Amino acid sequence: MSVRILALVGSLRAGSHNRQLAEAAVKLAPEGAEVELFEGLAEIPFYNEDIDVEGNVPAAAARLREAAGRADAFLLFSPEYNGTIPAVLKNAIDWLSRPYGAGAFTGKPVAVVGTAYGQFGGVWAQDDARKAVGIAGGTVLEDVKLSIPGSVVRFAETHPVDDAEVAAQLTEVVSRLHTQVGEVTAA
């Protein structure tokens, strides 16, 4: 069974280390798993029920929902902005939490990982993302965590895919998502 994992990156910066981490996840996905890196979070307007009207949903938000609808699981990459989740990632979670009770996350496995400059690797933001996506209906894999500190130094000259320790840990995260989808499907 092929498992589709949608990756959402909470940083819009072209050289983002979290984006590089997501690119590594795409390359390191085990056989039977496909990680799709969603492009276009910057184009999605802030969530507003007035514009979330069937048949008139903004095109960028509709594309996100379509990609999420095809996904079997989600892998969120969150840096830490001022001690919490970046607005762009929170906005994506908000769009995917609707319609209420039947959003794209409902019943699907979700893992949250990331890297940040600080000594804790963005753990506060990742915890906030887990909370938000859990409330949005996702089945958060609470024991699957990867917070990589010191991103500016650690990845200054090395892409995460070429960091053996990070590659092994990231491969384990994707494998755990893959396994969890199989368990949910079998249940």
Which domains does the chain show, CATH number per domain?
Answer: 3-186 (3.40.50.360)
* 71: alpha, beta or left? (left if phi > 0; alpha if psi -120 to 50): beta
This prediction has a pTM of 0.96
Scanning the chain, the segments in alpha helix (DSSP H) are 17-28, 59-70, 87-96, 123-135, 151-154, 164-186
Average pLDDT over residues 15-34: 96
| DSSP state for residue 81 in the 8-state scheme | B
The answer to whether residues 48 and 56 touch, using CB atoms and an 8 Å cutoff, is: no
The residue among 76 and 100 whose pLDDT is bigger is: 76
Of all residues in the chain, the percent with pLDDT exceeding 90 is 87
Provide the percentage of residues in the chain whose pLDDT is more than 70: 98
State how far the Cα of 51 lies from the Cα of 45, in Å rounded to an integer. 9
Is the confidence at residue 186, as pLDDT, over 90? no
Q: How do residues 40-90 score in pLDDT, each as one tens digit?
A: 999 999 999 999 999 999 999 999 999 999 999 999 999 999 999 999 999
Confidence of residue 182 (pLDDT cuts 50, 70, 90): confident
SS3 170: helix
Q: What is the pLDDT of residue 1?
A: 64
